[in-house]
Structure 1
């Protein structure tokens, strides 16, 4: 009897929790109310079956409980019961499948007036592409992808005016249908925006798509809903839904493929003159100065230097009240007036001699740090050489005091919390793996044992193995 009462209480408690639970779907912000209706039908069908089965179980426990005066009856055939069960099961399955199939047919049938956006997924980053004024996407292929051509653009006239968005921030106009064309660079991903009730797998070598119409102005999170690697949980982006006029203005500011291809590379000679103000703190050879809290710059990749200088200039880095040295760095970064100036000084830093640094901290255990570093290696490389494809900068050869301070800043949210610092946000998530100060010291101690990367190391796979 006690078991029967427990089953009844469990069933009734589950029903009450469903009706009174504070956790439910996010507010709908698209035209896909039909998906909510389908979910409701699924919940009602499965809920009715759950309740019926558990109450029937309780009935059987009570009705046929043990009695010495009663014997069990063997009844292998009961056609009436089988017909009832088959009929009810058929109705239940039809109720589950039919609405979903109807909605799915609409979900993959975009209207003719829908504008298009390509979503590109990679470990662990989102990027986007719009067709240009010709309204057509240029041809792409993964085999053409490299650090200079991250979208894999082919020499196609239709692609010259394609608009490339390298940051995981997409802007869409409200009340206008959009077809999302999906492509993966590496492994299986799944783009999901809960408020839009929209998600779809991204399969390498294939193109998939779906459509929706944003109906509410606001900002919504993009997540990867397919386990795609160790930093899967940090693969996030955002969609900002705005009025058509604001969207048009934003799109006009974004660079086209032709414009990006025409950008001049950094000029070390021009950069040398601009580096004069940097040398006062970072040293004439970029060797760094611990007394001035200025890290070593020599040996860092130009793409990483450019990104950090741009973040300092825009205020995405160095504005947190507890980031004392970042605040000091911001005025110097604002002395670089444009993207070309940043590229020039980064190119000059690339010519500076990369010399080993001496360890100044001794609190960490390199052996324990080696185990903790396995997570870091997925983005930064097994030898800490950095991996451009995963946006992981070089770590080997940097000063231990600087590495420790930055890891602590990430753990505390002093660095990386700004909404425009996408990779800093990812690093905050990953830094939480280091549960305490000792863990930080251990992993830094291990990084200090890694050799300086060789200059000729031009291509490195995502697992850190030279190709």
Structure 2
């Protein structure tokens, strides 16, 4: 009897939990209401079967429970029962599959007026490519991929000259216009998923998959990779922003094209030398001294692309605004003295031209324990700590360990990486969360300090 009661409670409790639970579909923000309908039908079919089977088992337990002197009747087969099971099962399966097939026919039939947008995935980052005024995307190939050409754009294809390349994980789209997503992976299997849009499609290396949707309301929606793609999978997040068409067009007009980015002059180190005088007061005349008291790290030896990004973050207010980021607040007005992108590029070029110098290590810890923890960091920053531009991860080996200790704690404690525009900082905050205490931070840095120097680095 207890088993029968448990089965009845399980069936009724599951039904009540389904209808009363606060966890349900996110409000839809696209044209794919049909996907919700197919899921609802599946819930009803499987729910009815689950309740019916549970109650039947409870009835059977009660009806055929052991009785003194009772005997079971042997019935090897029942064609009538088998026909009923066959018909009901077929009807249930058809009720679940048929709507899905109809929706899938819509999923693969993209409207002719859909705007084409390419989403490119790599461990652990999203980037996007939009067509220019010609409405066509240029061709790409893996052999063209470099740090300077991360999309692999074909420089000989005129259709790609006006393509808009977005290295940010944030994609903006206009409201009410259908969008065809071309999905491409540069390394491993990923998945493009936006719950509110009901969009979910794998990105397969060597293939270009696709999906489409029409945004039906403005807002900002989380973009997730829902395919395990490595140790940093949980930090692979992006954002999809839907805005009014006029606002979107104004934003799009401000984005540089591939041709403009290709012809953009590199920073002028000679011009950057004068601007660096302000920086030298804290970071040192040669960029390799640093200043512990001002939390100003060594700069020489760091990549120019990373220095430019950090300066832009301070200029835009994405860094140095948190009330507890005392040293960041000092850096923000310094970055503001660089009036435009050219000035930022010039200073970064000058710093990159400075000779790399060796700095003393100050952090002690268990390097062996740090080695195990660093396996996650190595996926982005490299096993040798040299940094990888493709994963937007700076050099760690040979840099100021006391500065890295401060920033790891800031990321871990929410002082850094909290700003909506600081996408990479948000990723670092998630990664730094694995360092539960200051001892763990010291262990990781002790391992980094012990990494062998690469060619050209001071020993």
Q: 1:440 Cα deviation (Å)?
A: 1.3
> Which residue of the partner structure matches residue 24 of structure 1?
24
SS at match of 2:293: helix
Q: 1:174 Cα deviation (Å)?
A: 0.9
Unaligned runs of 5+ in 1: 457-467
> Which residue of the partner structure matches residue 430 of structure 1?
431
Could you tell me whether the CA contact under 8 Å between 2:268 and 2:345 is conserved in 1?
Answer: yes
Superposed counterparts of 1:201-220, under 5 Å: 201-220=202-221
> Which residue of the partner structure matches residue 82 of structure 1?
82
SS at match of 1:290: coil
Q: 1:292 Cα deviation (Å)?
A: 2.6
Superposed counterparts of 1:40-439, under 5 Å: 40-154=40-154, 155-287=156-288, 288-362=290-364, 364-439=365-440
Q: 1:38 Cα deviation (Å)?
A: 0.8
Could you tell me whether the CA contact under 8 Å between 1:285 and 1:298 is conserved in 2?
Answer: yes
Identify if the C-alpha distance between structure 1 residues 345 and 376 changes in structure 2 by more than 3 Å, giving closer, same or farther.
same
How many residues were matched structurally?
A: 455
SS at match of 1:52: helix
Could you tell me whether the CA contact under 8 Å between 2:363 and 2:445 is conserved in 1?
Answer: no
Q: 1:245 Cα deviation (Å)?
A: 0.5
> Which residue of the partner structure matches residue 460 of structure 1?
none
1:454, 1:86 → 2: CA distance? 71
RMSD: 1.2
Q: 1:88 Cα deviation (Å)?
A: 0.6
Q: 1:74 Cα deviation (Å)?
A: 2.8
2:106, 2:443 → 1: CA distance? 54
Could you tell me whether the CA contact under 8 Å between 1:396 and 1:453 is conserved in 2?
Answer: no
Identify if the C-alpha distance between structure 1 residues 68 and 293 changes in structure 2 by more than 3 Å, giving closer, same or farther.
same
1:179, 1:420 → 2: CA distance? 26
1:52, 1:142 → 2: CA distance? 55
> Which residue of the partner structure matches residue 461 of structure 1?
none
Could you tell me whether the CA contact under 8 Å between 2:294 and 2:327 is conserved in 1?
Answer: no
Could you tell me whether the CA contact under 8 Å between 1:356 and 1:452 is conserved in 2?
Answer: no
Alpha-carbon deviations, 1:249-290, whole Å to 9, x = none? 011011110000001112221222221111111001112111
Q: Which has the higher mean CA deviation after the structures are superposed, 71-80 or 261-270? A: 71-80
1:68, 1:388 → 2: CA distance? 79
2:371, 2:185 → 1: CA distance? 31
2:199, 2:401 → 1: CA distance? 44
2:280, 2:254 → 1: CA distance? 34
1:378, 1:73 → 2: CA distance? 65
Q: 1:115 Cα deviation (Å)?
A: 1.2
Identify if the C-alpha distance between structure 1 residues 122 and 311 changes in structure 2 by more than 3 Å, giving closer, same or farther.
same
1:230, 1:455 → 2: CA distance? 30
Could you tell me whether the CA contact under 8 Å between 1:144 and 1:152 is conserved in 2?
Answer: yes
Could you tell me whether the CA contact under 8 Å between 1:397 and 1:451 is conserved in 2?
Answer: no
SS at match of 1:370: helix
Does 1:448 pair with 2:449? yes
Could you tell me whether the CA contact under 8 Å between 1:180 and 1:209 is conserved in 2?
Answer: yes
> Which runs of 4 or more aligned residues in structure 1 lie more than 6 Å from their structure 2 counterparts after TM superposition?
none
Q: Which has the higher mean CA deviation after the structures are superposed, 266-275 or 83-92? A: 266-275
Could you tell me whether the CA contact under 8 Å between 2:219 and 2:241 is conserved in 1?
Answer: yes
1:439, 1:69 → 2: CA distance? 70
1:367, 1:112 → 2: CA distance? 58
2:430, 2:211 → 1: CA distance? 30
